[in-house]
Amino acid sequence: MKTFRSLMLMLAVSTASNLQAQGWPENYDGVMLQGFYWDSYSATKWTKLEAQADEISNYFSLLWVPQSAYTGSSTSMGYDPLYYFDQRSSFGTEEQLRSLISTLKQKGTGLIADVVVNHRKNVSNWVDFPAETYKGVTYQMQSTDIVADDDGGDTKTWATQNGYSLSSNKDEGEGWGGMRDLDHKSANVQKNVLAYTKFLVDDMGYTGFRYDMVKGFNGSHVADYNVNAGVRFSVGEYWDGNVSAVTNWINNTKINNVPQSAAFDFPFRYTCRDAVNNKNWGNLKNAAVNNDTNYRRYAVTFVENHDTEYRSATASKDPIKADTVALNAWMLAMPGTPCVFLKHWTDCKEEIKNLIEARRLVGIHSQSQYAEWMSGTAYVGRTVTGTRGTLRVLCGNYTYNVAANYIEILSGKNYKYYVLNTLEAPWIGRGSGTYTVGETVKVPLVAVSAASDAKLVYTIDGSTPTTTSASVQSGTELSITSTTVLKVGLLTNGEVKNIQSRTYTFQEAVTSEYYTATMHVCNQSGVLNPLFAYVWAGPDNEQINGGWPGKKLTNTVTEGNLTWYTQSFQIPKNEDYAVNFVFTTTGGGTQTVDVTGMKADVYYIINSTKSGNKYTVTDVTSQYSDLPAVSTSTPTDLSVYDLLGRRVTEMKKGQIYLQRGKKILIK
């Protein structure tokens, strides 16, 4: 009798020959966006991502989003999976998700689902899983679908004591103590996951998968799931800095000697981190999957992600400390499929747009070839060949006398792009985007041509430039002040070539509205002296007073015999936003319980009694609601936001921002 695995393998081999691509398309020229970061519940709701569909689809062919099924929690990033077919999450409803997928697909961008099947959460005890019925079939995992050595044997001990049995198979890979590790050799596990992944593609409309924690189970199962679902795009999170370890996993996904999945290029990410953090640009040449001609097709490169980014003082992770744009410039010039981190995109959008446009202009793709150009501790450079031209990327601090046949099209802090002049095309040095009425958008134009008399012809009404259109010399900068479809062509020998296009849309500024809410706290017992407040707010749990233990409170107002310390906050209207506190003192070793949910003026008294080892706090708002307004207290939240409501840490000249509900223009 054939085993279930044997039958699946026969199906996979049969189906693989009919797929357009296996694992990852050949010579793929798209760029992926990681559309979330840790705790981005508000910023990356499905509705907010859909509102950015035009801009996202202009620059990204793939959008990776969080695991989208219900976890049983109102705030979860999805890595504690409970349900498969119930597609409501902390990021929105199933209807909103379907709308996002459909809208982006119509614009040419596919969504990558975060598939978390290494482990699974339980309903009420160590070993029970939910039953789900989809298209008349009930799917439910059993205790026997849990690996025998889960949680180092603790699960087996509990199961035996309570009358349950586990699988006889041990974990195929690395165990994880957070939840039950699934036995992917189990026919029932395979039945559930095969149905789930096919549902994501055929019903929900996802384009491909990002598999979480693939070190926990054999890559052959990923191959089976992919072939059954018929996806063209699959990438595994094989978190390892060793190139051989990552490529060995890719090999494990082979069917009929063809890999069925790509992998995130963690070795590449570590070369980026080491280059910047160790101040040695030459490290960018170190070993990475995308350096290997046999595997670069299956390398999804990245600079930062939600697991490596800095989250807080207590969860600093493994961030890259500087030059993130320069590292993105290196990544976007290299083979492999680049995956841009959302925070880098939102913080440095204009520069990253240009880098993506340069990649497109030259025709760099996942299997492009390169040659080492120059390197040292202070700099590194490569020459990369695309389908339409050749690009030289230089990163670091180095003064280079550009060769006569290369033309500089881009530069920024610690990076430059040069293009071989045989490309014979115009370069438009400003990406498409949306701007505010009253702004002036500067658009540099460069002729990439070997002809000394090359000119640039352009139109601003969307029509096709001709030899009689307005013309300018290379290096000219256009000023755009209203909605414009700019088309530029290269004019040489009486012929207009390689027309490029950008769209600049101007809209009236949308002002976000805020109201002020003030926290009053009385340290009557004197148990915390001096008094500090550690504050976090909003759905993203943003730190307001910095890292632990927060800021010392100094503003006070006296009413009767009581002195109230105060702090005021800007609360966005019509948003799910609340402010939360822990009161403490110097060093943060002594503290109160958490005080959560402030959305209006509140009054707290710190008690001398404790709950466990923390001082209790009494809410006496109803008793002191007539306390006079505090005129000496300035709202603490001086955060600056762009016109889409995103918090920014660096403002640029000529741009309009929002601060405390008012527009400000940086001059």
Residues 6+ apart with CB under 8 A from 481: 439, 440, 441, 506
Residues 562 and 589 occupy one common structural domain: yes
Q: What is the CATH number of the domain that holds 553?
A: 2.60.40
Cα–Cα dist 211/253, whole Å: 12
Q: What is the CATH number of the domain that holds 478?
A: 2.60.40.10
| pLDDT beyond 60 at 644 | no
Residues 592 and 499 occupy one common structural domain: no
pLDDT of the residue at 525: 85
| pLDDT beyond 60 at 535 | yes
Residues 523 and 628 occupy one common structural domain: yes
Residue 203, in any domain of the structure: no
Residues 606 and 531 occupy one common structural domain: yes
pLDDT of the residue at 322: 93
Residues 614 and 557 occupy one common structural domain: yes
Residues 450 and 486 occupy one common structural domain: yes
DSSP 200: I
Residue 302, in any domain of the structure: no
Residue 470, in any domain of the structure: yes
Which of 471, 487, 507 is where one domain is finished?
Answer: 507
Cα–Cα dist 567/550, whole Å: 12
pLDDT of the residue at 661: 47
Residue 155, in any domain of the structure: no
Range of the domain at 596: 514-641
Residues 526 and 636 occupy one common structural domain: yes
| pLDDT beyond 50 at 480 | yes
Q: Which of 593, 431, 599 is nearest to 514 (CA)?
A: 599
Summarised one tens digit per residue, pLDDT across range 321-372 is 899 999 999 999 999 999 999 999 999 999 999 999 999 999 999 999 999 9
Residues 479 and 598 occupy one common structural domain: no
Residue 117, in any domain of the structure: no
Beta bridge partners of 665: 656
Residue 164, in any domain of the structure: no
Which of 485, 507, 529 is where one domain is finished?
Answer: 507
Which of 490, 507, 524 is where one domain is finished?
Answer: 507
C-alpha triplet 228, 175, 216: angle, nearest 5°: 25
pLDDT of the residue at 558: 81
| pLDDT beyond 60 at 657 | no
Higher pLDDT, 663 or 623: 623
Q: Which long-range contacts (CB under 8 A, 24 or more apart) does 70-78 make?
A: 71/121, 72/121, 75/39, 75/41, 75/539, 77/36, 77/38, 77/39, 77/306, 78/114, 78/116
Residue 448, in any domain of the structure: yes
pLDDT of the residue at 587: 83
Tell me the chain's radius of gyration from C-alpha atoms: 28
Q: At which residue do the structure tokens 């259109």 appear?
A: 469
CA atoms within 13 A on the CB side of 621: 9
Residue 29, in any domain of the structure: no
Cα–Cα dist 191/193, whole Å: 6
Residues 492 and 542 occupy one common structural domain: no
Q: What are phi and psi of 57, to 5 degrees?
A: -70, -20
* Domain total of the chain: 2
Q: Which of 267, 282, 290, 278 is nearest to 396 (CA)?
A: 282
| Mean pLDDT value across the chain | 90
Residues 472 and 523 occupy one common structural domain: no
Quickly state the pLDDT bin for 392 (edges 50, 70, 90). very high
pLDDT of the residue at 547: 78
Whole-number percent of the chain with pLDDT over 70: 90
Residues 522 and 501 occupy one common structural domain: no
| pLDDT beyond 90 at 11 | no
| pLDDT beyond 80 at 562 | yes
Q: What is the pTM of this model?
A: 0.80
Residues 606 and 555 occupy one common structural domain: yes
